[in-house]
Structure 1
């Protein structure tokens, strides 16, 4: 497992980049399908211990803030990498009781457009779909660490109140995205 930190390719204030990706429910999704006051796009992986360790926190965000917050999980890993691919995404979603759309970025174009390099790599957008925060879900820096501060939950609350986020880029840490070699 390569420990990787997110990088800042998108700038705060940039608009969300549209996509048209297949979800594990067999439907295609694009930005227009998400109409909540805020949108959280999380680049995820099925195998990654960092993602698996944060799933309770991600599910808590959905339970606490939906329908004012839409969450979208995007898997951009090489589907040939062990534990990844569309069918494994379905198993992962069932294992972790994922209630939000989990989308397959088979070409990896969406991850490249956003500048996602690790999993989890979360991007929070406001009602106008402008980037307001790119970074950590919480303060736990290792899969086995217990979080003490729910950074994303605090930032979602700020966005929903129309407040500015004090630290809009706070690099996430996780597994590297498994890029295709062909």
Structure 2
């Protein structure tokens, strides 16, 4: 396991890179499928990383608590090297109710992770729907528990989502997310 900190090229105000990815629910998704939401949280995540696993409950909470927020998990990991990250395993977790995100998508080519500049799992990007595009509002960790065994004291992404949906400035400093490195396939 290689511990990484998030370090994307995307900056506040940048447009969300588009994608077309298969979902664990059997549908295929693009950014346009989330156009009815005021905010979009794209989280690069996976099934096997303990850092990503520690955030599943909070991501499920975010997906259920805010009607105007779409929570989209994107799994880019090399499933040949990490079978627990396979599309089949993603489908099982959605069907079993373990994952309750708006959508859980498979980035088999890893192109979407590269477009976003994602480096670790979890790596969350919060976008505001500005009518013509989703624009990056906040690229930061989900909460202040930086160790999988730690209990969060501050739910920073929750605060950011609430401020964004209320049309207010996000009151949280951006802090790089931390987790396992994305498992890139050998080129």
> What TM-score bracket applies, with the shorter chain setting the length?
over 0.9
Secondary structure at the counterpart of residue 73 of structure 2: strand
Secondary structure at the counterpart of residue 54 of structure 2: helix
Normalised by the length of structure 1, the TM-score is 0.95
User: 2:160 aligned with 1:155, yes or no?
Assistant: yes
Distance 1:8 1:40 in 2: 15
Structure 1, unpaired ranges of 5+: none
User: 2:8 aligned with 1:8, yes or no?
Assistant: yes
Question: In the TM superposition, what whole-angstrom CA distance separates every residue of 1:109-150 from its partner, at most 9, and x where no partner exists?
Answer: 000000000000000001221100001110000000000100
Q: 1:170 to 1:63 in 2, by over 3 A?
A: same
Q: Is the 8 A contact 1:12 1:168 kept in 2?
A: no
Size of the aligned set, in residue pairs, is 181
Q: Identify the residue that residue 50 of structure 2 maps to in structure 1.
A: 49
Query: What are the residue-to-residue correspondences of 1:97-116 with 2, within 5 Å?
Result: 97-116=99-118
Q: Identify the residue that residue 31 of structure 1 maps to in structure 2.
A: 31
| Root mean square deviation, CA, Å | 1.3
Q: Identify the residue that residue 178 of structure 1 maps to in structure 2.
A: 183
**Per-residue deviation, 1:167:** 4.6
Structure 2, unpaired ranges of 5+: none
Q: Identify the residue that residue 21 of structure 2 maps to in structure 1.
A: 21
Distance 1:30 1:168 in 2: 29
Secondary structure at the counterpart of residue 129 of structure 2: coil
Normalised by the length of structure 2, the TM-score is 0.92
Q: 1:97 to 1:76 in 2, by over 3 A?
A: closer
User: 2:138 aligned with 1:137, yes or no?
Assistant: no
Distance 2:63 2:20 in 1: 22
The partner residue of 1:121 within 109, 117, 123 is 123
